[in-house]
Amino acid sequence: MRSETVERRRTLTLPFHSIKASVLRVTVNGAEDQEDVVLIGEANVLDQIQTRVEGSTLLLGPAPGSSFSTNERLEIRLSHSRLEAIQASAGATVQVDSFHGGRLTLQAVSGARITVEGQAAAVVAKAESGGTVNIGHLSSSNVQSQTVSGGRVIA
């Protein structure tokens, strides 16, 4: 039985400087900070999605031990202006708009895709196992990139 698509807000109480996303579509507004994240998807599936801070990393993806299938895209929207790193795996898609910051480290693996637009002082981009990092619209005077096993970095 299919559940209806809903939107839920969750408040983050701990600071974070990096994102680790798995499976989901994540959209980040890099121009401002907000404590809330918005989850969009089937109601019964959203209960199984974690949005928690561990150390200084925001973990976004299926909760440990969860199992679900969905016909709808799972999406998380958030605003954060002080990101330093993004890791995406298992087909996750992370889109960062209006990024303006210092050093940014990006890693996409296992079919994941990261796209960042804006300006960074330095960028380290790594793509492997079919992952893609697109920094074609990210202005930076210092870019380092590495690809492994079918990964792709677009600069």
- Counts for the chain of helices (H) and strands (E), in that order: 1, 13
What whole-number distance in Å separates Cα of residue 115 and Cα of residue 132? 8
> Which amino acid, 111?
G
CATH assignment at residue 141: 2.160.20.120
Please give the model's pTM, rounded to 2 decimal places.
0.94
Pairing mode, if any, of strands 25-29 and 75-79? parallel
Number of domains in the chain: 1
**pLDDT tens track, the chain, 155 positions:** 557 889 999 999 899 999 999 999 999 998 788 889 999 999 889 999 999 999 999 999 999 999 888 877 889 999 988 899 999 999 999 999 999 999 999 999 999 999 999 999 999 999 999 999 999 999 999 999 999 999 999 99
Q: Which domain holds residue 37?
A: 5-65+73-154
The token pair that represents 61 in the structure block = 């993806």
Instruction: Please tell me the predicted confidence (pLDDT) of residue 106.
Output: 99
CB 121 within 8 A of CB 53: no
In angstroms, the Cα distances linking 154 to 114, 134, 149, 151 are 10, 5, 15, 10
